[in-house]
Amino acid sequence: MNYDGLALAAATDEIKRHILGGTIQGVKQHNDTDLTFEIRSPGASYLLFISIHPKFPRIHFTSSKLSVPQMPPAFCMLLRKHLIGGHIASIEQVGFDRIVRFRISSPEKTSILIFELMGKHSNLILTSETDKILGAAKHVSVRMSRYRQILPGLYYSPPPGAGKINPMTINLNEFESAWREAFTESPRDKNICDWLVASFSGVGNFLAKELLLSAEDRTSKGIFNSLANLQKIVMDRDWRPVLIVDEAGFASSAYPIFTKQHPKELQHERSSFNETLDTVFRSIIQRDRLDTEVTSLKNSILKAIASRQRTMNDLQKALEEGKNAERLKQIGELILSQSHNIAKGSKTAHIVDYYDPEMRAVEVELDEKLSPAENAEVYFKRARKAREGAEAAADRISEVRTELEILRRTLESLASVDLPEKAQALRSLLIERGLLRQYFLQKSKKREDEQEFEGYKIRRVISADGFEILYGENSQANDYLTTKIAKPNDLWFHARAVKGAHVIIRTANKPDNVPPGTIRHAAEIAASNSDAKHSRLVPVDYTLKKYVRKPRASAPGFVVYQNEKTIDIVPNTR
């Protein structure tokens, strides 16, 4: 799906026509990446969907009913606090880039909601009117990016690369000047496409190729004329959305104009680009889920088949060994009957084989550390093991053969699975029959919090007022938080006279600006993460971090403090 600057321009233009001046009546966050905004405009209501999914970031109206968690995430609560009841004063695409700014006004304040559609770096950021960050769907610390941090209290700056040329405002002279700087001789098609992508905001590989295919020739003027036609479409808002299907008839893409790169018969004109996006992304995501489920199930089945095949080989080997059980028993009996002829400490012995009609002598291997009787017992044990193994193999081999047949038939049937739910049902059925194992996914990576805090278990939450709250999960983390991270004018919290978490509110050196709601939020965290968490009422002390001191040679997490205030809290764990 090519959600480039042109696609965003068309989507934003349609969104603006319907909800500009509307009122935000609700905000829902469905998971880590997807949010919906309920907006009431004169005569109609709209559901605006915004996703920062790493593979499928997007913005469009939706008609889908999406599930929500029981407890709204902190970012959702922050958005509700600042946006519900606000009027959408403006909606602007930044240049031709994949960034949209919503200006939401209320009698008390103006807030800015910024959607950055940047692949795996996509984000949704809430700022004040002065661009001070209040919160974000994804926080970006200095450890995650040296160039640009997204954290409450910092000021918003555009993403790297946002300073490219706006292709919608450039004229012929400027274009030819940039062309001459880039090329000293006639460029190849690939060089032109690469230059367009690298130089112009909102232009990806797909749009660059469209401009190339629409050009009369490969000169600077020919390419610019193609771009000028695109400028006119955007200026005139002459959108002609198309739903693009693949050879199998599945919706695979959408674009605001007819494209040169897809056959005409696979492009179906639509009246609403947002509705087309909603349809296409539902199709794409379902097929992506299907591919993921089927591939995962296929790999699981192949592993199960390989395991059963190894088992089958072992069983067949056991059957072969079972054929020697009688001979092993005979050798044991021959050793016992002729033990008087076997010298102790022998590694081999030549004994008469009474089971041979010609009674020829045979050589048998012995353990020199054992007596003849003990060596005979070794052969008897080997005989019993071979016989019992063969009996067990005979019972099991038909079962394994049936399991292999079922697994191979299921593997062949995956080609006809058309819904992810069907793949999940197949997996569940195989697990119930004992043909697949139930695997529980475990995160192999440390939490981002732990990576940021040198591996110490320090949790981060954002209060409804947009303040960052940190707290330790053990005494070592508490020590590190209080002595290495907290600044002198940060607020420090601890449940009084009991063991518990150290809690910090980062104040940006302005502790007097911390609202009472955030102070209570931090105190609740301190109470709920203390030994007194099951008490009816927990007194929590708080003070500036500069009044907290760690005595020399004291145990991890032990501190003394002064100038504290106290707030009584009913813990959330009760």
pLDDT, tens digit, for every residue of 363-389? 999 999 999 999 999 999 999 999 998
Give me the percent of the chain exceeding a pLDDT of 70: 96
At position 318, the amino acid (one-letter code) is A
Higher per-residue confidence, 383 vs 455: 383
Q: What is the pLDDT of residue 529?
A: 94
> Is residue 449's pLDDT more than 50?
no
Range scoring the smallest mean pLDDT among 116-125, 393-402, 481-490: 393-402
Show me where the domains of the chain are located: 5-136, 172-273, 299-432, 448-569
> Is residue 574's pLDDT more than 60?
no
Summarize the confidence of residues 250-276 as an average pLDDT: 95
> Is residue 446's pLDDT more than 50?
no
**Distances, alpha carbon 13 to alpha carbons 6, 236, 253, 299, 460, in Å:** 11, 11, 19, 45, 37
> Is residue 453's pLDDT more than 90?
no
Per-residue pLDDT reduced to its tens digit, 404-414: 999 999 999 99
> Is residue 2's pLDDT more than 60?
yes
Q: What is the pLDDT of residue 448?
A: 42
> Is residue 563's pLDDT more than 50?
yes
Burial track 496-518 (b if 16+ CB lie within 10 A, e otherwise): beeebbbbbbbbbeebeebeeeb
Summarize the confidence of residues 303-321 as an average pLDDT: 92
> Crossing angle for the helix pair 420-432 and 273-322, nearest 10 degrees?
20
Give the span between the Cα atoms of 299 and 520, in whole angstroms.
Answer: 50
Which of the four pLDDT bands, split at 50, 70 and 90, describes residue 553? Answer: confident
Mean pLDDT of the chain: 91
Give the span between the Cα atoms of 557 and 475, in whole angstroms.
Answer: 5
Q: What is the pLDDT of residue 463?
A: 82
Q: What are phi and psi of 337, to 5 degrees?
A: -70, -20
Summarize the confidence of residues 213-227 as an average pLDDT: 95
Q: Which residue from 316, 523, 491 is spatially nearest to 400, judged by alpha carbons?
A: 316
Find the helix or strand (DSSP H, E) in which 461 lies. strand 458-462
> Is residue 156's pLDDT more than 60?
yes
Which of the four pLDDT bands, split at 50, 70 and 90, describes residue 162? Answer: low
Which of the four pLDDT bands, split at 50, 70 and 90, describes residue 554? Answer: confident
The string of DSSP codes covering 112-143 is EEEEE--GGG-EEEEEETT-BEEEESS-B-TT
* The CATH number of the domain covering residues in 5-136: 2.30.310.10
Q: What is the pLDDT of residue 445?
A: 42
Q: Which residue from 287, 276, 291, 290 is spatially nearest to 2, judged by alpha carbons?
A: 276
Q: What is the pLDDT of residue 444?
A: 39
Q: What is the pLDDT of residue 573?
A: 57
Which of the four pLDDT bands, split at 50, 70 and 90, describes residue 272? Answer: very high
> Is residue 455's pLDDT more than 80?
no
> Is residue 434's pLDDT more than 90?
no
278, 34 contact by CB (below 8 A): no
Summarize the confidence of residues 45-62 as an average pLDDT: 96
Give the span between the Cα atoms of 507 and 491, in whole angstroms.
Answer: 7
Give the span between the Cα atoms of 248 and 241, in whole angstroms.
Answer: 21
Give the span between the Cα atoms of 35 and 326, in whole angstroms.
Answer: 73
Give me the percent of the chain exceeding a pLDDT of 90: 76
452, 470 contact by CB (below 8 A): no
> Is residue 29's pLDDT more than 70?
yes
> Is residue 88's pLDDT more than 90?
yes
Which of the four pLDDT bands, split at 50, 70 and 90, describes residue 65? Answer: confident
Q: What is the pLDDT of residue 438?
A: 65
Question: Which residues face 492 on adjacent strands?
Answer: 504, 543
Q: What is the pLDDT of residue 556?
A: 87
Per-residue pLDDT reduced to its tens digit, 38-52: 999 988 999 999 999
> Is residue 311's pLDDT more than 50?
yes
Summarize the confidence of residues 7-17 as an average pLDDT: 97
Q: Residue 538 in 3-state DSSP?
A: strand
Question: Which residues face 253 on adjacent strands?
Answer: 244
- The model's pTM is 0.67
The listed range with the strongest mean pLDDT (151-165, 310-324, 460-474, 491-505) is 491-505
